[in-house]
Structure 1
Amino acid sequence: MAGTGGGRPSIYPTLLYADAKAAVRQLTEALGFTELALYEDEDGAVTHAELVQGNGAVMIGSKGRGGVFGAAMKEAGTVGVYVVVDDVDAHHQWAVDHGVEILMPPTDQDYGSRDYLARDVEGNLWSFGSYAPAISG
């Protein structure tokens, strides 16, 4: 379902999870991400993971590991991430078949996108759609 695309994105959403292994499993098995890297500490907690979808990527880690970033994220709320996919309806069906909580089925938007909204295992919101705005540098 997912590819690694080319080049390097300049923005990487970073999410911390109480159960980062479950999050990586859901994102790869049910939402079409590909695991690029996964690092664990001696206790098996995910210290850093990189998951790709198209030419974008997210970084995942375990909550409660300390450090400045971990402390700053300790009380953070859920996050929303938008991901462009080639076939919104097929992606949605794949997610449904894998038990992902769907908040909005595939819907045509006024601005030209077709997208759907899902919630992951720890409450973060993931939108998957066809809208890919051009960014000029």
Structure 2
Amino acid sequence: MKQNRSVPTDTVLPHIHYHDVAEAIAWLKRVFGFTEHYRYGDPVSGAQMYAGKACIMVRNEPNQATPAQLGYGTQSLTIFLDDVDGHYARARAEGARIVEELHETEYGERQYSVVDLDGHHWLFSRHARDLSPEEWGATLARH
């Protein structure tokens, strides 16, 4: 089997569509601190970006409705980070639309949620406490 140099095996790689991908790339870098791995097209039509080890693809889709245009979210993306507090401070300072303030959940995650420039919902989180699912009310599936 050949190895993919950009994404390891067993990785989910979400593709997120924006009306203006160049603007989205700049926004994601400035507000969320993403780094750009590569971009393609002239003018740019897509890019692969990282937040820590988390990887996403962003694509230009000017004819597809965004969540902001639809008036509802189509998905939610969760990225686990080491410094969610610093990430939250950066997003807030850059004027991002925070929809859930930074807090600790009953299941032991410290997290906040935010909506980006085209209305995509993001949840940034880090593990705060080690809890088993039973401790917060979940039921484990038995195989």
User: What's the RMSD between the two structures over aligned residues?
Assistant: 2.4
Secondary structure of the structure 1 residue equivalent to 2:32:
coil
Give ranges in structure 2 of 5+ residues lacking alignment: 1-5, 68-73, 129-143
CA deviation vs aligned residue, 1:100-125 (integer Å, no higher than 9, x gap)? 11111111001110000000000000
CA distance in 1, matches of 2:93, 2:84: 14
Taking structure 2 as the reference length, the TM-score comes to 0.73
Verify the 8 A CA contact 2:21 2:46 in the aligned structure 1: no
- Give the partner amino acid of 1:57: C
Taking structure 1 as the reference length, the TM-score comes to 0.76
| Within-5 A mapping of 1:33-72 | 33-41=34-42, 44=43, 46-64=44-62
| Within-5 A mapping of 1:67-106 | 74=64, 77=67, 78-106=74-102
- Give the partner amino acid of 2:54: G
CA distance in 2, matches of 1:79, 1:40: 26
Identity %: 28
Give ranges in structure 1 of 5+ residues lacking alignment: 1-5, 66-73, 133-137
State the number of aligned residues: 117
| Greater RCO (CA < 8 Å, at least 6 residues apart) | 1
Verify the 8 A CA contact 2:20 2:62 in the aligned structure 1: no
